[in-house]
Amino acid sequence: MFNPPHTLAGPRHVAIIMDGNGRWAQARGRPRLFGHHAGARRVREVVEACPGLGVKYLTVFAFSTENWKRTQAEVAGLMSLFRRYIIKETQTLKENGIRVRFIGDRVRLDAKLTALMDTLEEETKDNDLVHLTVALNYGGRDEVARATKRLARDVAEGHLRPEDVDEETLPKYLDTRVLPDPDLVIRTSGEARISNFLLWQSAYSEYEFVDTLWPDFTAAEFEGLCRNFGGRERRYGAVPA
Ligand code: FPP
């Protein structure tokens, strides 16, 4: 794609903590799940905006390892929403060049849902327009712990020497091993926390905390944040030349 010389590069990988669904619903006197359904519609809008903004990778935090602490009704409602979303969107995602991956621990998820996740990954594996990663039963510390377990197993089995372990080694064992690190992490709903999201991967990411509740987050706001990113200088700890 042609880029005029004055155009600063936008983010290639954007990760989003989609927060505020519950408050959005509450403000309308509706159950929390009403907010989650409205939030799911926003995911589609943001995915659609990605190609036009040069965003090749989009990662969204759909369910955290801590979210099991919510009421059983909310957890069950979210799981059912994920199943229905996958069933409803598979064809559209496939036909529109979106490659979907899931990160997180699948062990606690029900078999029906993991089967749908596997099928969606398989059905979209040849797509390359936008790489959408959905974090489901994901926690950054849990991911690092699971990665370390795999790494330790490789050491125990003699495939890896402890002296060869460096900063490049651990990322190869993370759920995100095939993804670049996020350039920009957005969190909605006014909370300025990273809540265990992509802890290792976001070491050098830019952060944007916006007040908008996720169901109100529009493609236009997403575009504004991506353009804003283009205006920043990232130095990775170095002094500018
Ligand atoms: C946070 O809002 C949101 C979640 C825990 C769930 C996110 C899920 C979606 C946006 C729906 C579907 C996603 C996909 C990929 C299909 P909250 O409930 O914590 O809101 P609150 O802070 O106002 O209570």
CA 45/CA 107 separation, integer angstroms: 30
What are the tokens at 149?
């377990």
What are the tokens at 132?
């959408």
Q: State the residue for tokens 């955290």.
A: 64
Q: Which of 21, 89, 130 has most ligand 1 atoms within 8 Å of CB, for mutation?
A: 21
Type of residue numbered 214 = W
CA 115/CA 119 separation, integer angstroms: 6
Q: State the residue for tokens 């095939």.
A: 178
- How far does residue 184's CA lie from ligand 1's centre (Å)? 19
Each residue's pLDDT expressed in tens, for the chain with a length of 241 residues: 333 333 458 999 999 999 999 999 999 999 999 999 999 999 999 999 999 999 999 999 999 999 999 999 999 999 999 999 999 999 999 999 999 999 999 999 999 999 999 999 999 999 999 999 999 999 999 999 999 999 999 999 999 999 999 999 999 999 999 999 999 999 999 999 999 999 999 999 999 999 999 999 999 999 999 999 977 766 677 776 6
Radius of gyration of the chain (CA): 19
**Closest atom of ligand 1 to CA, residue 37:** 11
**Closest residue CA from atom 1 of ligand 1:** 19
Distance of CA 162 to CAs 51, 167, 171, 174, 190, Å? 42, 12, 15, 18, 42
**Closest residue CA from atom 22 of ligand 1:** 20
Cα angle 192-18-118, degrees, rounded to a multiple of 5: 135
pLDDT digits (tens, 9 = 90+) for 126-152: 999 999 999 999 999 999 999 999 999
Outline where the chain has alpha helix (H). 21-27, 32-53, 72-95, 111-123, 140-156, 219-230
What pLDDT does residue 3 have? 36
Burial environment of residue 48 by CB neighbours within 10 A (0 to 12, 13 to 18, 19 or more) = middle
What pLDDT does residue 7 have? 45
Say what percent of the chain tops pLDDT 70.
95
pLDDT digits (tens, 9 = 90+) for 196-230: 999 999 999 999 999 999 999 999 999 999 999 97
- Residues annotated as part of the active site: 19, 67
Beta bridge partners of 11: none
Say if residues 229 and 56 touch (Cβ distance below 8 Å). no
Is the distance from the beta carbon of residue 77 to the nearest atom of ligand 1 less than 6 Å?
no
What are the tokens at 138?
């994901």
What pLDDT does residue 8 have? 55
- How far does residue 63's CA lie from ligand 1's centre (Å)? 7
- What are phi and psi for residue 187, nearest 5 degrees? -125, 130
CA 4/CA 1 separation, integer angstroms: 10
Is the distance from the beta carbon of residue 14 to the nearest atom of ligand 1 less than 6 Å?
no
What are the tokens at 160?
């890896």
**pTM, entire model:** 0.93
